[in-house]
Amino acid sequence: MNRRTLLTSAALALALATTAFAQDEEITAGFIYIGPPGDGGWTYEHDQARQKMEAHFDGKVKTIYQENVPESADAERAITQMALTGADIIFTTSFGYMDPTIAVAQKFPDVKFEHATGYKRADNVSTYSARFYEGRAVQGHIAGKMTKTNKIGYIASVPIPEVIRGINSAYIHAKKVNPDVEFSVIWLYTWFDPAKEADAARALIENGADVVLQHTDSTAPQAAAQEAGNVITFGQASDMAEYAPMPRVSSIIDDWAPYYIARVQAVLDGTWESTDTWDGIGAGMVGIGEITDAVPADVKAEALALKEALASGEYHAFTGPLKKQDGSDWLAEGEVADDGTLAGMDFYVEGLTAEIPN
Amino acid sequence: MDLSSINPVLLIASIMVSATPILLAAIGELVVEKSGVLNLGVEGMMITGAVVGFAVAVSNTSPGLGFVGAALAGALLSLPFALLTQYLMSNQVATGLGLMMVGLGLSSLIGKPYEGMKAPPFPKVEIPLLSDLPIFGRMLFSHDIMVYFSVALVVAVWAFLKYTRAGLILRAVGEAHDSAHALGYKVRHIRILAILFGGACAGLGGAYLSLVRVPQWTEGMTAGAGWIALAIVVFASWRPGRVAVGAYLFGGVSVLQLNLQAAGADVPVALLSASPYLITILVLVIISARGAHAAPASLGRPFHASH
């Protein structure tokens, strides 16, 4: 057997193997991640959901993913590559993938796209997000009750509506229980950089904050808070239970698995269509992690009651009277914010002192 | 604007912590480049050092051993790079990039069982007398030993390159490898030693991140620090003193801008965020504007005795 026939038969064998393989797997679902699955936060939860979804379909669905994809021109290349590899549905799991997702979707009309936390849709592009701000309301309540210095630090990532909503919601509910509370916000312009996140937490603590909220993806701020002692934090995107009971006193947990299962099922059934999903605590997309004993029992009870009220829809996290930062009226007494305003939120509520970078 | 909440003592202390990983990695890379080798794999060696240092420190509850392990791991990872580029004459840029990717992949593999674990505390060394000084004691003389080590290492590298015969030979190899070879110096051996030293330093820098600065293991935690170290070597025009200036400036402005944000300074945040990069480059370019600032003449060129 000369070299050429050897190669040919090898190629043939490979091709056969792939076809045999492909018969079991009806569709391929692709995922684009902003960080590594081991970040312990945002990407970790997406990856857990991916694995649960794959297990749910028991071999019928193959999943592929690419991690550490920057929110730049690289994103378009990575998504295109994934579409070319034969993915039938692609989940792009960061806000900054919005325009790249739309651009690639135009080139691949037969591939379904699902973009997390964005607002641009097309015939083959759905969006999905969770009402994290409901979780932020619970955090704000606990933070306002527990701060002794009345200074709450907030590690923010990128100035997009989702992050601004979180800051507003946490502030409103902290202020409600503690009128003296002040927020310092640090913008990092990154979702994932453990060293920077730890430095930011340290800077906030050194400036007097004894509660640190984070909207970045790694557990680094938790470690920095633990080192400082007497500072409380909240798990972000994932439970981060390894830092309980102190500094982490509770958390917001993203649960994407039911959504991923439903959407992939729709592709299998041929019933997939472009939708806009925005679920909160009630639907189970946002979970509140266990509130630890570091929180006084009465505060814990109030926080759980708030969580229930948000879940049942009896209370909305943005309920008037509320004013914007510049003092203009936003919501009248008893009025609740509409989803359109929330989705595009680009202003702080009254009382927050800093400016939103643009 | 009320900046009174910024405590200068704590600020300087944080700056020293923030600058140390980059300083360690950069001073190692400086020696490598001085010997005429461009190793772009700093990021990969750093993150391998971070994970191995963390794993060793956790397993033995000894951060000191962790740093030793990290240095060994960094050096070990740089060994294939050394052999490929020096004996097999592979392209240094491509091999360096490969090294980076191997390091990133390897570190996530090694690090899986260590996610979510806590690092054993690394004690601060109070220097007798000096640490009792008001203000300066807390600011400069109450750090962990690696901070002092990194500064001492810069001085040692500077003295080595400037005053020792071995340092002169290393520079000769980096400037004109053919001449050095003609004089009977073992160009490849010297370069391999320099590469191993660079690897060990990068490993230490990474371990400083995972054991002191963050302190925990998270996949991908170096997040580009290795590339900053590489850039600092270039902008410092291959001078140890300027590398220290660059690393402290970068670390300093990074921490300062976070503090300014925390204190609510009235400066656009986008400008603050970009400031570490802008200021470091600007200052290093200005101080390098006069005098010699050329790269080692043989930098990145492969060497073979028959050429």
pLDDT of residue B293: 66
Residue A184, φ and ψ in degrees, nearest 5: -110, 130
**What is the least distance, in Å, from the CA of A36 to any CA of chain B?**
6
Q: How confident is the model at residue B307 (pLDDT cuts 50, 70, 90)?
A: low
Per-position DSSP letters for A6-75, written without gaps between them: HHHHHHHHHHHHHHHHHHH--EEEEEE-SS-GGGSSHHHHHHHHHHHHHHHHTTSEEEEEE-S--SSHHH
Which of B18, B21, B269 is nearest residue A357 as measured by Cβ atoms?
B269
Query: Given CB atoms, is A206 within the 8 Å cutoff of chain B?
Result: yes
Could you report the per-residue pLDDT of B223-250, keeping only the tens digit for each? 889 999 999 998 888 999 999 999 999 9
| Residue whose pair of structure tokens reads 């239970």 in the numeric block | A241
CB contact under 8 A, B262 and A186: yes
Number of domains within chain B: 1
E strand map for B87-138 = 124-126
Chain B 164-223, residues with CB within 8 Å of chain A CB atoms = 209, 213-216, 218-223
Cβ neighbours of B222 in A, within 8 Å: 195
Residue of A nearest to B265 (CA): A354
Positions of chain A with pLDDT lower than 70, given as ranges? 1-25
Q: How confident is the model at residue B2 (pLDDT cuts 50, 70, 90)?
A: low
CB contact under 8 A, A206 and B268: no
CB contact under 8 A, A199 and B225: no
Q: Quick check: B121 pLDDT over 90?
A: no
Residue A175, φ and ψ in degrees, nearest 5: -65, -35
Domains annotated for chain A, with CATH where assigned, are 3-131+256-279 (3.40.50.2300), 132-254+286-343 (3.40.50.2300)
Q: Is residue B132 part of a domain?
A: yes
Q: Is residue B301 part of a domain?
A: no
| Residue whose pair of structure tokens reads 């038969």 in the numeric block | A9
Q: Is residue B232 part of a domain?
A: no
Residue A156, φ and ψ in degrees, nearest 5: -100, 155
CB contact under 8 A, B223 and A200: no
DSSP B210: I
Chain A 141-170, residues with CB within 8 Å of chain B CB atoms = 153, 159
- Helices A220-228 and A194-206: crossing angle in degrees, nearest 10, is 30
Q: Is residue B294 part of a domain?
A: no
Domain limits at B82? 8-223
Q: Measured over all CA atoms, what is the biggest interatomic distance in chain B, rounded to whole angstroms?
A: 67
Cβ–Cβ pairs < 8 A, chains A and B: 118
**What is the least distance, in Å, from the CA of B247 to any CA of chain A?**
15
CA neighbor of A64 nearest in space, from A56, A55, A74, A54: A54
Helix (H, G, I), strand (E, B) or coil at A1: coil
Could you report the per-residue pLDDT of B3-55, keeping only the tens digit for each? 677 788 888 888 888 999 999 999 999 999 999 999 999 999 999 999 999 99
DSSP A95: G
Torsion of CA B224, B229, B230, B235, to 10 degrees: 130
**What is the least distance, in Å, from the CA of B242 to any CA of chain A?**
23
Which of B215, B216, B262 is nearest residue A153 as measured by Cβ atoms?
B262
Contact between residue B145 and residue B168 where contact means Cβ atoms under 8 Å apart: no
Q: What would the two tokens of residue B283 be?
A: 């200052």
Could you report the per-residue pLDDT of B168-223, keeping only the tens digit for each? 999 999 999 999 999 999 999 999 999 999 999 999 999 999 999 888 888 888 88
What DSSP element (H or E) covers B16? helix B8-34
Residue of A nearest to B15 (CA): A199
Instruction: State the average pLDDT over residues B276-291.
Output: 82
Torsion of CA A244, A246, A247, A252, to 10 degrees: 40
